[in-house]
Amino acid sequence: MSYGWFYESIPLDINDRQFSGEGIGRQVVPTCTNFDAAAGGVLQPNGNCMFLNPRNNQINGGAFGDISPKLKGMYSEEVVAGIQYDVGLDLVLGAQYIHRDLGRIIEDISPDGGNTYIIANPGDSTDRGTVADLEKKINATDDPVAKKKLQDQLALYQGVATFPKPKRNYDALVITANKRLSHNFLLLGSYTYSRSIGNYPGLFSPSNGQTDPNISSQFDLRELLLNRDGPLPTDRPHNLKLTGSYFFPFGANTVTLGMAFNAISGRPIEVLGAHPVYGTSEVFILPRGSGGRTPFVTSFDFHVSYRRQLSKLFGFEAYADVFNLFNQKEITNVDDDYTASSVGPIQNGKVADLANLKTLVGQQPLLNPNYGHALNFQAPLSMRLGVRVSF
C-alpha cells in the first residue's frame, strides 16, 4: 500500500503569457450587413457604409498578471493498495485498487466576468490576513480613487472563493495474471476497470486543444464551467491487455513467436458550442459526455525473432514486429463541435433539448455537419524489421 502527494513543476509558459506584458487589442468595424447607426456610422446615398468611430471591442492584458496572495502549489493525491499471490505453476495473480484526486490547482480566473484576471487556486478562500489588511487600508483612506482601487482588489481576491473546486477523481480496479517464463512460454495479462470523473481534465485542455498549462481557458469565467462535470476525456472504463510469447530453442538457436492483444473503451463525446469572446469549442452545451462514446478499439500485434548465440560473449538476433496485424480501422476520435455559433449551455440538459437550442441573440444556430464524424482512425498495419548484436 502507498500514499503520496505529487506537486506540479510549473512550466515556463505562464512566464511568457502572464509576466511579459503580453496583451491583446481587438477592434471590430461593422459592415453594411450589420450596420448600426449607434456604432457611429453614416449610411451614404449610394448604399455604402462609412464609419466615423470604429470601436474597440476588447482590450486585454498589456500588464503583468495579478497573483492571488499566498498562492499555493498545485498537487494531486494518490492511494494504491494491492495484493499478489503465487498460486503455483509459475502463475502469480494480483489485484490492485488505485485512487487519485486533485488537492489543488493553479489557474488564471476572472471573478469580474473577463475584465481582470488573476492567477489563483480556484475555490480556495483568500488569505484572511490579506483581507484584513486591505479592509484596514480601505477604511483608512478618504481618497475615492484609492478607495475604489483597493475595493476592486479586495473583490478580485475574494472572488476566487466563488469559483467551484476543481475535481478530477480517478478510481481503478486492476486485475493481473502473470505466468513467468517456464516450459518455454510466458503470459502477461491485465484488466482495468476505471472511471475518471470531474470538471478539470488537467493542464492540457482536450476540448479545444489548448496547451497553456496553468493559464488555460477552462476556469477563466464562471459561465464556462457550466456542464463541465462528468466523465473526463481520459475516462476509458474498460482496458484489457494480453501478451504471450513462446520460445523454440534448438541448439545455439532460438525462434520466438509473440502476440499481444489490446482492447480499450472509447472516449466520451462532447457537445460543444462557441463563446462570443473565447470562440469555438468553449461552451459545453450539454453536460460532459452527453454525446456518447467513440467505439471500442481493439488491436493485435505480432512478433517473431531468430536468435543465434555466436559465442559465449556474442549473440545475434533478427526480428520483425507487426503492429495492427489485421489492419483494423476503428474510429479513435470524432468532431465534438456541435455548432460554431455563440450559444449558451443548457444546464443539466439532454440530447432532446438540442432541438430548442438558440444562439445568444435568439436565432437558430449554424450546426456543424461534421459533428460526431470521424477525425482519426487507428494507425494502419505497419511493420518494423531489425537486427541486434548483444555482448
Average pLDDT over residues 78-93: 96
Cβ–Cβ < 8 Å for 196, 169: yes
| 40 has pLDDT over 60 | no
Q: Are residues 207 and 77 in the same domain?
A: yes
What is the pLDDT, as a whole number, of residue 49?
53
Closest CA to 106 of 3, 216, 190, 23: 216
In a domain, 156, yes or no: no
Q: Are residues 71 and 34 in the same domain?
A: no
Give, in degrees to the nearest 5, the angle at Cα 247 between 241 and 249.
175
Q: How many distinct structural domains can be found in the chain?
A: 2
Q: What percent of the chain has pLDDT over 70?
A: 90
Cβ–Cβ < 8 Å for 114, 221: yes
The answer to which of 29-33, 57-61, 242-246, 259-263 has the lowest mean pLDDT is: 29-33
Model pTM? 0.85
| 37 has pLDDT over 50 | no
Q: Are residues 216 and 335 in the same domain?
A: yes
In a domain, 36, yes or no: yes
**DSSP letter for each residue of 79-127:** EEEEEEEEEETTEEEEEEEEEEEEEE--EEE-TTSSS--EEE-TTPPPP
Average pLDDT over residues 167-191: 96
Q: Are residues 56 and 168 in the same domain?
A: no
> How far is residue 262's CA from residue 54's CA, in Å, rounded to a whole number?
59
In a domain, 306, yes or no: yes
In a domain, 155, yes or no: no
Average pLDDT over residues 68-82: 95
What is the pLDDT, as a whole number, of residue 25?
66
Residue 113 buriedness (CB in 10 A; 0-12 / 13-18 / 19+): exposed
Q: Are residues 28 and 115 in the same domain?
A: no
In a domain, 297, yes or no: yes
Q: What percent of the chain has pLDDT over 90?
A: 77
The residue written with cell numbers 475584465 in the block is 115
Q: Are residues 45 and 171 in the same domain?
A: no
For residues 126, 135, 19, 28, the Cα torsion angle rounded to the nearest 10 degrees is 100
Average pLDDT over residues 53-57: 50
What is the pLDDT, as a whole number, of residue 115?
86
Q: Are residues 29 and 115 in the same domain?
A: no
In a domain, 141, yes or no: no
What is the pLDDT, as a whole number, of residue 61?
60
In a domain, 181, yes or no: yes
> How far is residue 157's CA from residue 152's CA, in Å, rounded to a whole number?
9
Q: Are residues 45 and 117 in the same domain?
A: no
Closest CA to 373 of 333, 327, 313, 314: 333
What is the pLDDT, as a whole number, of residue 127?
87
Q: What residues are paired with 302 via a beta bridge?
A: 259, 322
| 51 has pLDDT over 60 | no
Largest CA distance in the chain: 98
What is the pLDDT, as a whole number, of residue 146?
92
Q: Are residues 185 and 307 in the same domain?
A: yes
**DSSP letter for each residue of 159-178:** HGGGSPPP-EEEEEEEEEEE
Q: Are residues 56 and 68 in the same domain?
A: no
Cβ–Cβ < 8 Å for 272, 282: yes
What is the pLDDT, as a whole number, of residue 313?
87
| 114 has pLDDT over 80 | yes
Q: Are residues 190 and 278 in the same domain?
A: yes
Average pLDDT over residues 98-126: 93
pLDDT band at 44 (very low <50, low <70, confident <90, very high): low
What is the pLDDT, as a whole number, of residue 126?
86
What is the pLDDT, as a whole number, of residue 260?
98
What is the pLDDT, as a whole number, of residue 306?
97
pLDDT higher at 25 or 221: 221
Percentages helix, strand, coil for the chain (3-state, rounded to 5) are 15, 45, 40
* Domain endpoint, select from 14, 35, 61: 61
Length, in residues, of the chain:
391
Q: What is the pLDDT of residues 193-234, one digit of tens each?
A: 999 999 999 999 999 999 999 999 999 999 999 999 999 999
Q: Are residues 71 and 193 in the same domain?
A: yes
Cell numbers found for residue 225: 464551467
| 66 has pLDDT over 90 | no
* Domain endpoint, select from 61, 87, 108: 61
| 36 has pLDDT over 50 | no
> How far is residue 204's CA from residue 320's CA, in Å, rounded to a whole number?
36
In a domain, 158, yes or no: no
Count each helix (H run) and each strand (E run) in the chain, helices first. Answer: 3, 23
> How far is residue 77's CA from residue 104's CA, in Å, rounded to a whole number?
10
pLDDT band at 391 (very low <50, low <70, confident <90, very high): confident
User: What is the span of the domain harbouring residue 30?
Assistant: 23-61
Q: What is the pLDDT of residues 127-149, one digit of tens each?
A: 889 999 999 999 999 999 999 99
How much is the mean pLDDT over the chain?
90
